[in-house]
Structure 1
Amino acid sequence: MAELHTPRSLIVTLYGAYGRSPGNAPLPVAELIRLLDAVGVDAPSVRSSVSRLKRRELLVPARTAGGAAGYALSADARQLLDDGDRRIYRHPAPRLADGWVLVVFSVPEAERHKRHLLRSRLSRLGFGTVAPGVWIAPAALYEETRHTLERLELAPYVELFRGEHLGFAVTRESVARWWDLDAVARLHMDFLQRHEPVLRAWEERSREDAAPDPREAYRDYLPALDSWRRLPYADPGLPDELLPKDWPGGRSAEVFGLLHERLRDAGERFVRQ
């Protein structure tokens, strides 16, 4: 997993959590600095990270209703975050009966840089590798995969299929070859090590009937979301019957869900001050 809680990652997480108003109103630069300072990011780091996100065309400069300088999400960034919501806050348990989405691609040698981009992006979307040029994921990832390939102009090299696994190996055994499940399990354990103690501390406070302090709630929620939002891309969300015994993904999802329920809205009060 990439380094956690970089300024650039926290800015993206902030926009995903609190920066998507119906009219895509920009966040003032001064507010970005205030909100990132609360999680330990200094002003120069905020400005340099915003500049990089602007160069990547994820943020666009805009003026607030009051005339202050700020940044809003680009259309592509908003689509990325909307797609991400289905991963980050997913609720229905995946079912084996839902089947799979297959990506089969062929890229000419003269454009091999696009082959590398395609493999890299499929991996980041959570696909496993069946064979060279053949990648697989649960069918629920189809819409996001389509959006991503179209946005990156990779669709001409790709064929997409829905299907089911018919053999010859048992599906549970095949899944263990298509994905590095040990590595994914370690990511879940890392998340639990970082954020389960935070949840326990908030649960202890609730026994004392203490309402969450908005700044403290925000300070704990934003890093938890920043950690969690990467995990559903490493873990494609396989049905339980295909996973090893004592899989930690269920507990890490539960911990994040409880932190989200307890802290998200309280943190928004700090953001809107």
Structure 2
Amino acid sequence: MAEPHTPRSLIVTFYGAYGRAFEGPVPVSALVRLVGAAGVDAPAVRSSVSRLKRRGFLLPARAADGSAGYALSGEARQLLDDGDRRIYGPVRGSTGSTGSAHPWLLAVFSVPEQERSKRHLLRSRLAGLGFGAVAPGVWIAPAHLYEETGHTLDRLRLTQYVDLFRGPHLGFAPTAEAVARWWELPALAKRYEDFLDLHEPVLRALLSGPAPTPQDAYRRYLPALDTWRRLPYADPGLPRELLPADWPGDRAAAVFDELHTRLRDLGSRFARP
């Protein structure tokens, strides 16, 4: 089942899709209005903004009109910029290469027992980036995640515990069999299917119905993006030839790309500062 749209998640999604277009910090009144348009009431918006401020994602500042507002921290902006490359990037995964020729990024780490909280943080962040577990202390991902992985480990001050390597998988099991061990592909396929259950009907209605207004486009796009943006992290661009033939990620990516093309810019007219 798809994850619910929490107020905090929708605020992060709003900043990623539209908040960076504001001239300076986003006024609190605009946050209440625009996140409210996605079904979140004002107290929940304000409470979630406070939590994001405590986490260092948002910084209090005066908006361009002099009212109270919130700007992205430098780390949050880097996080969203890294996310853009995944969420809006070209075709997810690569084709035309054999499993042995496909480059992988290997993260090998060792954390002292007295710092085991950092070991847990490191594992959770690697999993959040889309790495699969090969063995204790050895995690793997497609090599194109090197830059984003570096940003994340540096931001969390974890680089001293990790060595990164880049290269092909040489054996001994076929790479497709190894990928099925490193990632939980049935669970990932189910997440794609949940996305399709929710948002393929939205696309069908969009294609068969009247043209949406900017407000309608915004209300349809924000939940679709909020659901979709997690999937390129669970599936970090695994090569298509290493996945099952009936992989639902292909159709899900096509549905999101179509929704993005038809709704995102139109919705910006409603979200425009």
Q: TM-score range by the shorter chain?
A: over 0.9
Aligned residues: 268
Structure 1 distance, partners of 2:3, 2:244, is 27
Partner of 1:267: 267
Taking the aligned partners of 1:93 and 1:70, their CA distance within structure 2 comes to: 36
Other-structure match for 2:12:
12
| C-alpha displacement of 1:19 | 1.0
TM-score of the aligned structures, taking structure 1 as reference length? 0.95
Letter in 2 for 1:59: L
Q: How does 1:1-273 map to 2 (within 5 A)?
A: 3-21=3-21, 25-95=24-94, 96=97, 97-205=101-209, 210-272=210-272
Partner secondary structure for residue 46 of structure 2: helix
Measure how far apart 1:93 and its partner are: 4.8
Shift of 1:3: 3.3
Determine the C-alpha separation between the residues in 2 that align with 1:60 and 1:192. 35
Shift of 1:92: 4.1
Equivalent position amino acid for 1:111 in 2: E
Using the alignment, how far apart are the partners of 1:232 and 1:94 within structure 2? 10
- Measured in 2, the distance between the counterparts of 1:240 and 1:32 equals 39
- Aligned in 2, Cα 1:243/1:10: closer, same or farther, shift over 3 Å? same
- Mapped partners of 1:269, 1:166: distance in 2: 51
Which blocks of at least 5 consecutive residues in structure 1 are unaligned? none
Please tell me whether the aligned partners of residues 102 and 169 of structure 2 are also in contact (alpha carbons under 8 angstroms).
Answer: no
SS of the aligned residue for 1:264 comes to helix
- Structure 1 SS opposite 2:20: coil
State the AA in 1 paired with 2:131.
Answer: F
Query: What letter matches 2:260 in structure 1?
Result: H
Alpha-carbon distance in 2 for matches of 1:22, 1:64: 9
The structure with higher relative contact order (CA 8 Å, sep 6+) is 2
Instruction: After TM superposition, give the deviation of residue 211 of structure 1 in Å.
Output: 3.5
Whether contact under 8 Å (1:4, 1:226) holds in the other structure is no
What's the offset of the Cα at 1:98? 4.3
Listed one character per residue, the Cα deviations across residues 184-236 of structure 1 (whole Å, up to 9, x for unaligned) are 0000000000000000000002xxxx432011100000000000000011112
Q: Percent identity?
A: 70
> What's the Cα RMSD here?
1.4
Structure 2 stretches of 5 or more lacking a match? none
3-state SS of 1:166 partner: coil
